[in-house]
Structure 1
């Protein structure tokens, strides 16, 4: 029978890194730019804001009937580029390269098909917890 020590150690290390990454408090833009009706629950009934943020989630109890602890928007290279897909305003053309998009001082994300990949940034002044 082979020793399990190294495999178990690697598994624990991976789990620890995942937990550490998930426990990073999201940026204000990742939370405030998500429409309440698009929130995906990230907590449990009675969760506190500290518990929610510790889990790497957003917390906002100002809107009734939607999750208060919810999954944040994905992080982008720049806070100005964090927004819901439906909020993207086209800044390019089909097939634009990341370099051409950057030369226009716009955001670029090609992870979602059939939406603008090159889009105008939004001011971060409106982001708050």
Structure 2
């Protein structure tokens, strides 16, 4: 009788706790600006995970590429995140973004951006525009 051993594949993270644990493992004792504690992450009303926008390495065959580690920001409400995304839309042409939104949790549950609405209106010249 032949027995085959299949390697156990780690499950992909699903919950806020899973992602928070991954974050803690990736960063260890290193710090970044405003890095929250694990307790702060688990108790925050809104938790946002970000991935840095790193330019592609000049040498794609580099043996030890720079690891991409996500950062976390904490917010009181989703409106804080909405304001940030709105600013991103209007600043992109002026200043390239240094991070990309990866996932959002509200009250410990994952949420996604369902849509974006941009409202246009007629532009009327003001007195100080010539």
TM-score, reference length from structure 2: 0.29
Task: Name which one, 1 or 2, has greater alpha-carbon Rg.
Answer: 2
TM-score, reference length from structure 1: 0.29
Structure showing the higher helix proportion among its residues: 1
Structure showing the higher strand proportion among its residues: 2
